Amino acid sequence: MESAFAIIAEPSRRAMLSLLAASERSVGELERELHLPQPSVSKHLRVLREAGFVESRVDAQRRVYRLRPEPLMEVESWLASLRRFWSAHVDALERHLDRLDQQDRQHRKPRPAAPKRRHRRPRAKGRTR
Per-residue pLDDT reduced to its tens digit, 18-45: 999 999 999 999 999 999 999 999 999 9
Q: Is residue 79 predicted with pLDDT exceeding 60?
A: yes
CATH class of 4-67: mainly alpha
Pick from 33, 32, 27: which is nearest to 59 by CA? 27
**DSSP per residue, 59-102:** ETTEEEEEE-STTHHHHHHHHHHHHHHHHHHHHHHHHHHHHHHH
Give the integer Cα–Cα distance in Å for 57 and 87.
Answer: 40
Residue 64: per-residue pLDDT: 94
> Distance between CA atoms of 57 and 113, rounded to whole angstroms?
72
Torsion of CA 8, 11, 16, 17, to 10 degrees: 30
pLDDT digits (tens, 9 = 90+) for 56-72: 999 888 899 999 988 88
CA distance 98 to 129: 56
In sequence order, what are the residues at sequence separation of 6 or more whose Cβ sits closer than 8 angstroms to the Cβ of residue 50? 1
In the chain, where are the structural domains located? 4-67, 72-106
